[in-house]
A = this chain, B = another copy of it.
Amino acid sequence: MSTAVFTTPQEAEDAFYEAFSRADLEAMMAVWSEDEEVICIHPGAPRVVGLAAVRDSWRQLFAGGTRLQITVSNEVISAGTLMAIHCVLEHIQVEGDNELHAPIVATNVFMRGALGWRMVAHHASPTPEIDVMGDSGGPLIVH
């Protein structure tokens, strides 16, 4: 599908957000592992399992043609030699919309295989409008 080789989880993550911003399906799928049972959870959407279904989910998302500006912040990393988890806040801005939105919180999991580091899971969900920058300590409403 692609010859892109990511030598670190960060390279894979950077490529993920670049592909996401550009709505580039091939570049996006080049980030995902072809060896593992991959999982993608778009905010508020049902869980998607398997490479074909994950591809289809991004194809649908990109089909709208909306260009996004995405920046990530507040990254927390736990990394082993073969697996890494990056938890970030995504700040997503639709082109032409200047309203400030609450960030999305995303857990990105990467594994190292024969072809370098690839994404095996992306779990994204909305954060509440309140306390969006505090990043901790807000009242818990419900589990």
Contact = CB atoms under 8 A, between A and B. Distances in A.
A43 B44 CA distance: 11
26 contacts: A36-B78, A37-B78, A43-B143, A44-B141, A46-B134, A46-B135, A46-B137, A47-B74, A47-B89, A47-B135, A47-B136, A48-B136, A60-B140, A61-B140, A61-B143, A78-B83, A78-B111, A78-B120, A80-B80, A82-B82, A82-B83, A105-B123, A107-B121, A123-B123, A124-B143, A125-B125
A142 B43 CA distance: 7
Contacts of A104: 143
A134 B125 CA distance: 19
Which interface residue of A92, A104, A125 has the most chain B CB atoms within 10 A? A125
Interface in A81-140: 81-85, 87, 89, 92, 104-105, 107, 109, 111, 120-121, 123-128, 131-132, 134-140
A131 to B, nearest CB: 5
A92 B143 contact: yes
A136 B105 contact: no
Given A44-B141, A45-B138, A132-B46, A85 B87 contact: no
A124 B126 CA distance: 11
A82 B85 contact: no
A128 to B, nearest CB: 6
Contacts of A92: 143
